[in-house]
Structure 1
Amino acid sequence: MKQTLIRGLLNLLPMALSLWLFWSLFASLDELGKLLLTLVHAPSLFPGAGFLLVVALVFIAGLLFSVSPVVWLWGWIERQLMRFPLFKSVYGSIRDIASLMNRDPSKPKSQQTVLVRQANGGYVVGFIMTDTPPQPLIDALPEGDWVPVLFQLSYQMAGVTSLVKREDLIKVDWSFEEAMRFNLTAGISQSPVADHEPHQKLGD
């Protein structure tokens, strides 16, 4: 009896929570759209009209951001707002996270999964997000080919960034998305691992 209930809960709970989150997002955007319709004294013709309005506005914004004058104006507004330290911290963090979901598939991926050896002989999974550290770090570090490596914290997109020499990194033939998902739960929901190419040092 107990095992049957647990089995049902483990299978239904992820689906129920996912549907609830998506429904909550839909309802919130629909309410926002209805508010915009109210501001212009336009009626909501059918359920979901507010949601469709928000989607249409986002699509139009995407079209506008392909026009150079709009991109320049938006960049100018960003620079003015970035002068405020609190806004800069919050907005910069959100923008960096959003950039992870906006990678151009036609461009080579800059994210690379790596292993870093610990002092006790174990290994930690890390991610190279960029090959080049900021210039102030390069100036402060001893001579060498240093690479910023992100060590993700469980159940968070954030993590700890360490500077590691490139020759001490082991390149892993593992996609950024799969490795990130594995790190979140240490493989609790891991699917069967496909065969990968042998690992190699980054310097090789």
Structure 2
Amino acid sequence: MKRTLTRGLMNVLPMAISLWLFWSLFVSLDGLGVLLLELLGIDIHVRGEGFILVGLLVFVVGLAFSVSPIAWLYAWIERQLMRFPLFKSVYGSIRDIASLMNRDGKPKQQKTVLVKQANGGFVVGFIMTDKPPRPLLDALPEGDWVPVLFQLSYQMAGVTSLVKREDLIPVDWSFEEAMRFNLTAGISQTPNGRSDPGQA
């Protein structure tokens, strides 16, 4: 009975939590949209109207940023706000994460590699960029150094280490699948090395 209950939880819980998170996001955005409509004097209460409004606003903002003057003005405001250290730290981190997630139309620089450890084992890492910051290159010994991210299991945090390119073993594995492998400590995988959506 205990095994059956555990099996049921393992199958139902991920789906239930995922649906709950998406529903919570939907309700929050819908509430924000309804609030905007009420501020405009529009009193229509239909489930989803606020969510549609927020979606349309985001789409319009996306179109607006394709216009040079608006993009320039936003960049200027961004530069002024970045003068404040606390805002710079918080906003910069969020912007970097958003940039990592939104890679449409951009060359995917992230490459999956294996790095040999002192005990003879290997760890999965990711080359995030081929161009380390100049201060780091100036401080390091001569060589072709690249930043390699070692993802920590069950969290988005990781450790970035500078490794010589010659010490890396390239792996024909997509960034998304390898990231999923690391995040789940190797649980989410199939015999051929491809992620199995049914096991996530």
| Residues 154 and 185, structure 2, Cα contact 8 Å, conserved in 1 | no
How many equivalent residue pairs?
194
- Per the alignment, residue 178 of structure 2 pairs with 179
Q: Which amino acid is the alignment partner of residue 179 of structure 2?
A: M
- Per the alignment, residue 142 of structure 1 pairs with 141
Name the SS of the counterpart of 1:127 in structure 2. Answer: strand
- Per the alignment, residue 190 of structure 1 pairs with 189
- Per the alignment, residue 57 of structure 2 pairs with 57
Q: Which amino acid is the alignment partner of residue 117 of structure 2?
A: Q
Superposed, 1:36-47 pairs within 5 Å as 36-47=36-47
Deviations 1:170-194 (A, max 9, x none): 1110000000000011221323425
Residue 108 of structure 1: how far off its partner (Å): 2.8
Q: Does 2:44 correspond to 1:80?
A: no
What stretches of structure 1 of length at least 5 have no aligned partner?
196-204
TM (norm. structure 2) is 0.92
Superposed, 1:118-133 pairs within 5 Å as 118-133=117-132
Runs of 4+ in 1 over 6 A off after TM superposition: none
What stretches of structure 2 of length at least 5 have no aligned partner?
195-200
Deviations 1:154-182 (A, max 9, x none): 22222111111110111110000000000
1:45 and 1:6 mapped to 2: Cα distance?
41
What percent of counterpart residues are identical? 79
Question: Aligned-pair RMSD on alpha carbons?
Answer: 1.4
1:88 and 1:153 mapped to 2: Cα distance?
25
1:191 and 1:124 mapped to 2: Cα distance?
18
TM (norm. structure 1) is 0.90
| Residues 44 and 50, structure 1, Cα contact 8 Å, conserved in 2 | no
- Per the alignment, residue 3 of structure 1 pairs with 3
